[in-house]
Amino acid sequence: MRLGVLDIGSNTVHLLLVDAHPGAQPVAYASHKRPLSLVRFLDADGSINEAGQRELVDFVQEAWAFAGRHDAEDLLAFCTSAIREATNGEAVLDRVQREAHVMLQELTGPEEAAMTFFAVRRWYGWGAGTILDLDIGGGSFELAMGHDSLPAVATSVPLGAQRLTRDWLPEDPPSAKSVKDVRRYVRDTLKPVVKEFAPFGPPNLVTGTSKTFRSLARIAGAAPSGAGPYVRRVLTRTDLGLWTQRISAMAVSDRIHLPGVSEARARQLLAGALAAEAAMELFEIDQLEICPWALREGLILRRLDQLVLEGPLEPPAHIEPIQSERLRAARLHPSRARA
């Protein structure tokens, strides 16, 4: 079957179409995305403003039509911290459903962490033992650990790279005081979280599953994305520390020349590096591996499992598919794709 996953994140909005069936590895078929940073559309009261809402509705309508044109049979649509933490998040979800006719399922932070872990476990298998996964998004930082398919502990903290940049690193290049302040804030926020993981002992494998970690590993010498997903990519604490210091002295215009760093993410690169560095230090991690699968793949795999099992999986997340009949109608009648 061709399955679509519509991901409304803090940095980008992304539709991924994959060809998959139960028991097989999902194979990417096509994708449609836009660098829409909803965090930048927040008003002083924490609400997503009118311009941000229009951009979001337009993209969801585009994504729905794209899925129909490319013969998608099922669609999962979800949103994470950008809408979850907006003061008018519920109203925004209602507007998307009213105007784009797509219901976005809101994932909690722990659900997001757990579904990402689920994908990591599937990628590495049971032989990896206990896994600790770290995922730094635009609005939040998810952490999960366990030795089963789903984690024993999963949590989320407001330490996303875009959020930290907006709140703590306004200058370009940043001042030494700003870097010191955000470093202290990140460590103070993570310390009690790290204590929650202590009872589970040291992990056998530590992974990073976000664009932030992929970019940092690439800067530190890991293979480019063009080398494919099966090339082992690692990020060491030593290399991360060196590059964090270098990045802190760079202007945004200089960061875009680093390998693997896009113009859209160059500004928030330092904040992501500081959050990653603090996590690796507090967990006493010397090295982590970059996992090519993350949240989207976790939701895809979970949906495929639902096709095999008699009932839906229980916690952490309940993601309802969009009716496949509507997708068939969109394919047969493209002019009705938004209806």
Amino acid at 15: L
CA angle 239, 242, 247 (to 5 degrees): 115
pLDDT at position 38 is 86
Alpha helices in 142-250 (DSSP H): 161-168, 176-197, 211-219, 237-248
Q: Contact at 8 Å (CB) between 6 and 63? A: yes
Confidence at residue 264, expressed as pLDDT on a 0 to 100 scale: 84
Positions in the chain whose pLDDT score sits under 50: 310-323, 332-339
- 141-146 β-sheet, strand order: 153-157, 141-146, 131-136, 205-208, 287-290, 234-236
For residue 203, the model assigns a pLDDT of 98
- pLDDT for the residue numbered 275: 98
For the record, the structure tokens of 329 come out as 């109608």
In contact, 27 and 14? CB cutoff 8 Å: no
Among the listed residues 105, 107, 131, 310, the one whose alpha carbon sits nearest the alpha carbon of residue 206? 131
- Express each pLDDT in 298-325 by its tens digit: 999 988 888 776 444 443 344 444 445 5
Q: Which residue ranges form the domains of the chain, and what is each CATH number? A: 2-107+319-336 (3.30.420.40), 109-290 (3.30.420.150)
pTM metric for this prediction: 0.89
d(CA 91, CA 83): 10
